């Protein structure tokens, strides 16, 4: 059975000055998860938020927090983000601090041992093959459909076959992240993705509810 279609608005595009209100509003509009982008200024050329802010979000949220670590050294921050309330914690297969296959497997096992679901992500130019050794060790694959670092970029259609390939190997949750709107979301659902992460499309919409519903339909 195909996994359920889920919508995970990315808080990166919300009004951070009214964070608690935005969380409330997007949940009331039907968000299944909340996607939280964590950037270190090294793995990607941008800085965002840390565990203290995740904890603040957790206090006002009632849906799972899907925390996406875009860090050179995610291994140093697994525990802090899980303690802060991450239900899903995703690391990048390219993170230099995880070094090799055994480093990656250790991080994924550590996430699960700490009580969270383990996610693995890849940049648009990394092949699906790079994730193959890990499909037994993860709960979520997060396919980047833009170069990570910023919201509001254009969807890269070349990732569509990658999602199709990953769906052959992995029965769990496959999320797509970057440039997702009604049209690219449909394309990704058809390719086999079941979790749609969307920042700009949801938070810049006049109606969060209409935007979320259009991703699910
Ligand atoms: C980019 C982030 C995305 C981003 C998506 O590095 O991982 O989650 O917020 O934003 P949109 O939906 O605007 O492309
Ligand atoms: Zn993300």
**Res. 15 pLDDT band, cuts 50 70 90:** very high
| pLDDT above 90 coverage of the chain, percent | 98
Task: Examine the pLDDT at 38 and tell me if it is beyond 70.
Answer: yes
> Is 177 one of the catalytic residues?
yes
Task: Examine the pLDDT at 101 and tell me if it is beyond 70.
Answer: yes
The reported pLDDT for the residue numbered 217 is: 86
Stretch 85-114: mean pLDDT: 98
Question: CA 116, 123, 94, 56 torsion: positive or negative?
Answer: negative
Atom of ligand 1 nearest to the CA of 180: 12
Q: Please identify which residue in the block is written with the tokens 């969060």.
A: 208
Q: Are the beta carbons of 147 and 132 closer than 8 angstroms?
A: no
The reported pLDDT for the residue numbered 210 is: 98
- 15, 28, 37, 40: the catalytic one is 37
**What is the SS3 assignment for 17?**
helix
At 144-154, the pLDDT tens digits run 999 999 999 99
At 152-163, the pLDDT tens digits run 999 999 999 999
The reported pLDDT for the residue numbered 189 is: 98
Task: Examine the pLDDT at 1 and tell me if it is beyond 70.
Answer: no
| Interval between CA 102 and ligand 2 midpoint (Å) | 24
The reported pLDDT for the residue numbered 2 is: 74
Sorted by where each starts, the structural domains of the chain and their CATH numbers stand as: 6-216 (3.20.20.70)
Q: How far from 15 is each of 30, 80, 85, CA to CA, in Å?
A: 18, 24, 21
The reported pLDDT for the residue numbered 93 is: 98
């Amino acid at each position: 059975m195909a996994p359920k279609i889920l919508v995970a608005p990315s808080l990166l595009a919300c009004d951070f000055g009214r964070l608690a209100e935005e969380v409330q509003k997007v949940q009331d509009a039907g968000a299944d998860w909340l996607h939280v982008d964590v950037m270190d200024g090294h793995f990607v050329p941008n800085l965002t938020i840390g565990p203290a802010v995740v904890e603040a979000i957790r206090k006002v949220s009632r849906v799972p927090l899907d925390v996406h670590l875009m860090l050179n050294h995610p291994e140093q921050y697994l525990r802090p983000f899980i303690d802060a309330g991450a239900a899903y914690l995703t690391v990048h297969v390219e993170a230099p601090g995880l070094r090799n296959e055994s480093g990656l497997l250790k991080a994924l096992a550590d996430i699960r041992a700490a009580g969270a679901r383990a996610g693995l992500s890849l940049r648009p130019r990394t092949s699906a093959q790079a994730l193959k050794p890990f499909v037994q060790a993860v709960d979520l694959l997060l396919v980047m459909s833009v170069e990570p670092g910023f919201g509001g970029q254009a969807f890269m259609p070349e990732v569509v076959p990658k999602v199709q390939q990953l769906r052959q190997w992995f029965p769990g949750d496959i999320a797509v992240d970057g440039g997702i709107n009604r049209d690219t979301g449909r394309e990704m659902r058809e390719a086999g993705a079941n979790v749609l992460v969307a920042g700009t499309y949801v938070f810049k919409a006049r109606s969060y509810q209409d935007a979320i519903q259009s991703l699910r339909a």
